[in-house]
Chain A
């Protein structure tokens, strides 16, 4: 944990809504691709995301700015697909600002990102299979 955390997630509180998934976005995904497919896609995301979070941590610890940026970029892309706007915004912030921080050898905390992901995962499971 270091003092860089607040600037990395400047709008995090504003984006962290009571429902971590934008329902309209997820409903549109279901409608466009079919409910079964949307559920499978959500399961794929939930299966891949923990590895992405772990990869972010490893890239940060290895001060590998490029790997850090690429992983944050991928997490952002997936989050936005499911309407996980808060998680997507946090990942975008890491993609844009985290690179210079990692490059400088600073170590941004990923705790809040992990916490937001936990909220997203719970909500997404409910929406996909509920």
Chain B
């Protein structure tokens, strides 16, 4: 809900007829909502793309861009396709109503609109949107916005597909002794702060955190939404993560708490990405050798004494954008042969 007062919604009234605009705006206002107006479909779309609204009252017969074209444009726009639209029109015949509903309108109200019916429709539609917004917010606590978008666009189906992406594993070094030296509340507080900082860095570089396991996390760059420079994004995110941890440590130090250290492993290549689980409970994840390699690299940061380790494919993907140090061929656990490993110099 786009609210300024509790329960008040922003409603866009789109009508080329001034009397209708005034009258519909008045009805909206009398219900305690905030109306804005547009004289045609083109202006309406500009406003809808520039600022958030909760509901559109849309006329059909308009110059420049009619109501049908607006409905089609909204349906094609991932950001606006869920915005509820009530069509208000005095076009004759059933065809306009059928076409409006088919194009996604919530309802079709004939003009002059019965004020009691309009009031009920506005209230019900805004309430339904509020509940949907709440549900979306709740879903986003458990799934990333990219995954939500992917499911909305492609539908949910268990199964995977081959993608080329970069995978990152990160965790807090020496977490177990740290947990043992502080209260459970402090531990949860520490984890929440750590996740907040890491999410900011990862999402800020178009990555998706798809797993949180204790003090560790797994992030994907390039799936479910493809990313051309996934390796560069992953390394940039890792460097920012280290910087944020340093700032966090300065705060901890002033509070008399020990600093934390993190390790990050990044590998790039082909992997299988998709939804695993059951039809009732599933998660979006990636599996394959590349994913295993990233996990091994993260684990190897302890022995290597480096914060960020990457594989040869990631190195190839980032070009000369970063200063790297070759650690040569490293025999990682679970790998049949030695793997070329590079440390990112901070």
Contacts and interface: CB of A to CB of B under 8 A. Distances in A.
A80 interface: yes
Given A33-B27, A33-B30, A77 B22 contact: no
A36 B315 CA distance: 72
Interface in A37-79: 37, 40-41, 44-45, 48, 70, 73-74, 76-78
A29 to B, nearest CB: 8
B92 A81 contact: no
A118 B22 CA distance: 23
Interface string B90-112: 11100000000000000000011
B23 A33 contact: yes
B61 A70 contact: yes
Contacts of B26: 33, 37, 41
A95 B92 contact: yes
Interface string A86-116: 0000001001100000000000000000000
Contacts of A96: 92
A77 B20 contact: yes
Given A32-B115, A95-B92, A81 B27 contact: no
Nearest to B17: A74
B89 to A, nearest CB: 9
A74 B22 CA distance: 14
Nearest to B16: A74
A28 to B, nearest CB: 8
B141 interface: no
Contacts of A41: 19, 22-23, 26
Contact of B19 (A28, A32, A48, A70): A48
Interface centre among A33, A74, A96 (most CB of B within 10 A): A74
Contact of B112 (A44, A48, A80): A80
B281 interface: no
Given A77-B112, A81-B112, A45 B61 contact: no
A12 B72 CA distance: 38
Contacts of A76: 90
Interface residues of A, number: 20
Nearest to B21: A44
A45 B112 contact: no
B266 to A, nearest CB: 60
Contact of A73 (B23, B61, B112): B61
Contacts of B61: 70, 73-74
Contacts of A80: 90, 111-112
Interface in B1-44: 16-20, 22-23, 26-27, 30
Contacts of B30: 32-33
Contacts of B17: 74, 77-78
A121 B18 CA distance: 17
A53 to B, nearest CB: 15
Nearest to A92: B92
B33 to A, nearest CB: 15
Contacts of A95: 92
A37 B25 CA distance: 11
Given A32-B115, A73-B61, A77-B111, A44 B18 contact: yes
Interface of A: 28, 32-33, 37, 40-41, 44-45, 48, 70, 73-74, 76-78, 80-81, 92, 95-96
Give 7 closest A-B pairs by Cβ, nearest first: A77-B90, A32-B115, A81-B112, A78-B19, A80-B112, A33-B26, A45-B19
21 contacts: A32-B30, A33-B30, A33-B115, A37-B26, A40-B22, A41-B19, A41-B26, A44-B22, A48-B18, A48-B19, A74-B17, A76-B90, A77-B19, A77-B112, A78-B20, A80-B112, A81-B20, A81-B23, A81-B112, A92-B92, A96-B92
